[in-house]
A and B are shown apart, each in its own frame.
Chain A
Amino acid sequence: MRRYTEHPFWQAVGILLVAYVVVVWVVPLLPGSAIVPKSVVLQYMATVLVGVLIYVSDSEERWQRFKEPITAMLVEPRLRPVRSGVLVVVPVLVGLVAYGQVQTTVAAPPNLRSIHPAPPTEITFRGKAISLTGLENPLRQHPDSLPAYLADGKRVYYQNCLPCHGDHLDGQGHFASGFNPLPANFQDNGTIAQLTESFVFWRIAKGGPGLPREGTPWNSAMPKWEDFLTEREIWSVILFLYDQTGWTPRTWEKTGTGDGGRGTGHD
């Protein structure tokens, strides 16, 4: 056994197997985790493979030892059955992978969608021009009235957003499973937690149809809420979303020019 554990070739095989098991089976078992998409498995395994190749070849002695079993398998007469097996199994595996790649399935292909497409500098809301750059939630300027706004936001949410975004604001509403992509999960640290309130206002007001092409508007069932809600109702529901999830909206960086700051949106 030790002969194998100390040999670079078998160490390399072992590391690759362990990495595969961890990524594909162990990570999904962790609390709150889920399966790792195939694209990410491929990326991780490619990185580990590069690391393994560096490990076996960064010293001449280790490199020579690593090659020993491969050379032996290819040239030694006693290993002819193994050689034959490898020469059959490897092309078959490559063929199977190629077949799997080109085979048509009923599932939609993986989607490269921009979740946070760039917002416009300015929008028109029911004919009124609103500049999004540097825009803060105007309702926050009246701290005394916040409880009333929050109550209004809660009403708006439960009347309009609940069926898709769910009671827990986690995107698991009753209708959620009927949509692809799924409704946004506000509890996730990748949605409203990363955004300014002006971005969220733009998304709610303009919905799926208002997404730029890079945001694949044809992939969103979100209505254009400016047709149904007032400006104040939208700002109220935004207050409610942040209040309920505990996230803080992204703030604008002050540039010192007194213009309220052109934004930084990067995390």
Chain B
Amino acid sequence: MADPLLLLQAAADTSRAYGEFPVIGARQFIWITAEVHLMFAAFVLGVPMFAVVTEAIGIFGKDERYDRLSKEFTRLLLVAYSATAIWGAMLVFGLSTLYPRFWAYLTAIFAPSMWVYAALFFIESFTLYLYYYGWDRWKKGRAKLWHWTLGILLNVWGTIVMFIANSWLTYMMSPPRDITPTTDPTTIKLWHAIANATWMPINVHRVIANVVFGGAIVGAYASYRFLAARTEEERAHYDWMGYVGNFIAMSALIVLPFAGYWLGREIYQYDQSMGITMMGGFMSWLWVIQAFLIAVLFLTGNYYLWIGMGRIPGAERFQPYTKYLLIVLVLGAIVWGTPHTMIADSKELAAMGGSHHPFLGALGVMSAKNTAVNLMILTTFLSFLLYRRANVRPVVPWARAGTLIQAGMFAVAAGVVLFYGIRGYFVEAIVRIGYSVYQVLAVLACILFVTVIDVLMARGAQSLGAIRWGKMPPRSQYALFILAVTFTWLMGLMGFARSGIRQYWHVWQVMQDTSAYAATPALGYASKMISLCVLIFLSLVAFVFWLGGLAEKSTFVATERGAQHVGH
């Protein structure tokens, strides 16, 4: 875009374009409110997905435990909904008073979608009230299915609401190419603005991430209740709940990188300088942190499973092998976290001949990283498989052959991943990028076919004893806390990367940020701000958890008077 246009735009900027917030400043206010609102939104979108799935398992699997679990979560949602709305309102008031010119621009394009958004939020809230308060009334037969439908509707409304909000923020990142600084916003067709280049990738990425987040928050809640439990029965219930939360979070986490890859690819397609700023420029350091944090997720998720084997009769058969899985994961984490451009002092730089290490630098490129992460995903899946099989012995006549086929599939998948990982060093970049697709497909195919064989093999399997739920050391529960904190932190960090690559633009190359806060913050400062947001969110979530316990106690008192006992 030509410079005179920028100057014109800056000149047109009046003193009323920006407001100021006391003490912390306008940008910080927007940052905190937007981030915490988003975290709560992820909570209230992720947990209903969880609730509706567990309710379905309860209905169709005729297992009362899942129904109780589902209701327990919906109770937490009631408070979390208010928090989401409050933080959302603060964000809107903040935008309209601190960034009025920008807000007027957005509303000029998106006003009708904002009305629909508000209406859907209203409908969603009432669906939630019906879902929660109708739980015991619509408990049996056809009424239960109707109740479950309400849960599905809750998810449908929530997903549409999220898609609408996503259109606003993705428009800021990737406005359609025909829109320029001189385009009158009132002439922009609504759907044209909504269906921008990064809208659908963000939608898909966030839906999956919300499942992960919902599972992690469920796990954290369960661990909190486990540690505070006074009876064996309570401990058993929350131990099981923590396991289910972790299982869902880790399962969805496995597919999340693929959605993220698509989003990254779309960003590059839209504007390569934005893509390079994100992956190769100053934002690239966030990816090293991300690699480290995702390695923490993999290690912690596996750790939780391995400790959990201690409460499964028969698991001792597999426990000696976990150390080999651990070695793969640690080596994977080392490779994945190795930076291409290393932080080094002048002496080290001189010895290396630059900021690329002559030997370890080979681990800093995508071929090595894709190989590492795919092997880590395979290893995590193997952990799940061992856990799943711990207390059963297959009795089908083809059990041995089936296990051998499964092992063969793992070997083939790992072989494909390694082959393309190594070959990637010897081909040009454009071919190398395509290799990651083959690696991913090999891993996904392995996961799919091995699971199918495992399910068939488990038919009529001999049990080696029931899982001793509740017999878990407290450190396993801290692992669940680590997962929830790490997920939350990752959301903040990577959200900053996505938003920060716009740099000094409100709307990329269409509307400049001419405020005092136009500069992109340094990574250290951004990390502190994100950590603060995480702390605020987790403190509020801790309060929600505590309220959850409080409500339960009051119900318990009511039981003594003969009222219906809800929850556990």
Q: How far is the CB of A152 from chain B (nearest CB, A)?
A: 25
Q: Are A118 and B353 in contact (CB under 8 A)?
A: no
What distance in Å separates the Cβ of A260 from its nearest Cβ neighbour in chain B? 12
Instruction: Assess whether B353 is in contact with A182, with CB atoms less than 8 Å apart.
Output: yes
Knowing A39-B343, A190-B361, A264-B275 are in contact, say whether A171-B354 is a contact too (CB < 8 A).
yes
Alpha-carbon distance A189/B271, docked complex (angstroms) = 25
Docked-complex contact B342 and A119, CB < 8 angstroms: no
Interface of B is mostly: helix
Q: Report if A250-B430 is in contact (Cβ < 8 Å); known contacts: A112-B285, A113-B355.
A: yes
Within the complex, the shortest CB–CB distance from A68 to chain B, in Å, comes to 16
Give the docked Cα–Cα distance between A43 and B433 (Å): 27
Asked whether A194 lies within 8 Å of B429 as measured between CB atoms, the reply is yes
Q: Which of A30, A50, A118 has the most CB of B within 10 A?
A: A118
**B326 and A116 within 8 A (CB):** no
**Mind listing 14 A-B residue pairs with CB under 8 Å?**
A40-B357, A43-B292, A51-B326, A58-B326, A59-B319, A110-B343, A110-B345, A115-B356, A121-B273, A171-B354, A172-B353, A181-B355, A184-B354, A262-B271
Q: CB-defined interface of B251-287 with A at 8 Å, one 1/0 digit per residue?
A: 0000000000000110011111111110111101100
When each residue 96-115 of chain A gets 1 if its CB lies under 8 Å from chain B and 0 otherwise, what string results?
A: 00000000000111111111
**Which residues of the other chain, A, contact B473 by a CB distance below 8 angstroms?**
60, 63
Closest residue of chain B to A46, judged by CB?
B292
Q: Do A34 and B353 contact each other (CB < 8 Å), given the known contacts A40-B339, A47-B330, A51-B330?
A: yes
Contact B280 A262, beta carbon cutoff 8 Å: no
Q: Among B164-172, B204-212, B302-310, which stretch is in contact with chain A?
A: B302-310
Which residues of A approach B to under 8 Å, CB–CB? 27, 30, 32-40, 43-44, 47-48, 50-51, 54-55, 57-60, 63, 107-121, 133, 170-172, 177, 180-182, 184-185, 188-191, 194, 214-215, 248, 250-251, 253, 255, 262-267
Nearest chain A residue, comparing its CB with the CB of B432: A267
Residues on B with C-beta less than 8 A from A191 are: 356
B235 interface hit (Cβ, 8 Å): no
Task: Flag if A116 contacts B346 (CB, 8 Å).
Answer: no
A185 (CB) vs chain B CBs: closest residue: B354
A105 vs B362: C-alpha distance when bound (angstroms): 31
Q: How far is the CA of A150 from the CA of B188 in the complex (A)?
A: 50
Interface centre among B302, B338, B352 (most CB of A within 10 A): B352
Q: Which residues of B contact A (CB under 8 A)?
A: 264-265, 268-277, 279-282, 284-285, 292, 295-296, 299, 302-303, 306-307, 310, 319, 322-323, 326-327, 329-330, 333-334, 337-362, 364-367, 425, 428-430, 432-433, 473, 475, 523
Partner pick for B268 among A180, A248, A266, CB 8 A cutoff: A266
Q: How far is the CA of A6 from the CA of B351 in the complex (A)?
A: 39
Write the nearest CB–CB distance from A77 to chain B, whole angstroms.
29
Q: Evaluate whether A32 and B343 lie within 8 angstroms (CB atoms) in the complex, with A43-B337, A214-B282 already known.
A: no
Contacts of A185 in B (CB 8 A): 353-354, 356
Q: Is the CB of B344 within 8 A of A251?
A: no
Min CB gap A46→B, angstroms: 9
Chain A residues near B276: list those with CB within 8 A.
116-119, 265
Residue of B whose beta carbon sits closest to that of A61: B310
Q: Which A residues lie within 8 Å of B432 (CB)?
A: 267
Using A47-B334, A214-B282 as known contacts, say yes or no to A263 and B268 having CB atoms under 8 A apart: yes
Contact across chains for B280 and A266 when beta carbons are under 8 A apart: yes
**Given known A48-B330, A119-B273, contact A181–B322 (CB-CB < 8 A):** no
> Contact at A54–B285, with CB atoms within 8 Å?
no
Additional A-B contacts beyond A118-B280, A182-B349 (19; CB < 8 A): A38-B348, A39-B342, A40-B342, A43-B338, A107-B345, A107-B347, A109-B345, A113-B341, A115-B341, A118-B273, A121-B271, A121-B273, A190-B354, A190-B364, A253-B269, A262-B271, A266-B433, A267-B367, A267-B433
A170 to B358, CA, bound (A): 12
Minimum CB distance partner of A172 in chain B: B353
- B471 to A, closest residue via Cβ: A60
- In chain A, what residue has the closest Cβ to B332? A47
Contact of B366 among A43, A117, A266 (CB under 8 A): A266
Contacts of B273 in A (CB 8 A): 118-121
Which A residues lie within 8 Å of B350 (CB)? 177, 182
Q: Choose one: B277, B306, B334; the contact of A118 (CB below 8 Å).
A: B277
Q: A34-B357, A265-B276 are in contact. Are A112 and B343 (CB under 8 A)?
A: yes
Residues of A within 8 A of B346 (CB): 107-108, 180
- From B268, B282, B295, B367, give the contact of A47 (CB < 8 A): B295
Query: A108–B273 Cα gap in the complex (Å)?
Result: 30
Provide the bound-state CA to CA distance between A266 and B270, in Å.
13
On whether the beta carbons of A267 and B366 are closer than 8 Å, the reply is yes
A108 to B284, CA, bound (A): 23
B343 touches A181 (CB 8 A): no
Docked Cα-Cα span, A215 to B428, in Å, equals 25
CB-defined contacts of B274 to chain A, threshold 8 Å = 118
- Nearest to B261 among chain A residues (CB) is A266
